[in-house]
Amino acid sequence: MKAYFYDNLPGDQRLPHDATSASSPLSESDLSSLGVLYFHISSIAGVDALAAERGYKNRDEITVSPERMGDIYEAKVKSFFDEHLHEDEEIRYVRDGRGYFDVRDKGDRWVRIALEKDDLIILPAGIYHRFTTDEDNYIQAMRLFKEEPKWTPLNRSGELDANPFRQEYVSQFLAA
């Protein structure tokens, strides 16, 4: 895992966008202050233990690649990159490949989190974020759920700031 401020320079979203990362790497503690939890877990048994501890009852796997998704790949990757939140925690365990989760920090800047095989990330409900593969266009990830699998993105808008899950996130992690 590598975390840094996204450089906001024009270019393909799948590139690292780390022009400023040498001067501003972020730690697991920095991520934790935003409610983002990171784990490096080298076995499914480790994932199972974390799932039991946090009450995750269901899971599935997704492969995001042109080979697996065909003609819808480019549109799907672009839709994942739309800024959004979920009303549930988002938990992803990278089984293979690489990708980026971008989250907003307390100053509303993008923090890019580069993940690869055996990295697991937990994003709290209500955090604005987005996802993309890297330039290799391939990631296989396990998604964990507390109840029935659901993945409903709510795209950022002025009205969404009043969402109770967003309000809870803001009061817990972004309030001064």
Binding residue positions for Ni(2+) = 84, 86, 90, 129
Known binding residues for Fe(2+):
84, 86, 90, 129
Question: 99 pairs with which residues across the strands?
Answer: 115, 133
Residues 6 or more apart whose CB falls under 8 angstroms from that of 85 comprise: 125, 126, 127, 128, 129, 153, 154, 156, 160, 163, 165, 166, 169
Question: 114 pairs with which residues across the strands?
Answer: 2, 100
Considering only the C-alpha atoms of the chain, give the largest distance between any 2 of them, rounded to a whole number of Å.
46
At position 138, the amino acid (one-letter code) is Y
- Other beta carbons within 10 angstroms of residue 144's beta carbon come to 22
Known binding residues:
84, 86, 90, 129
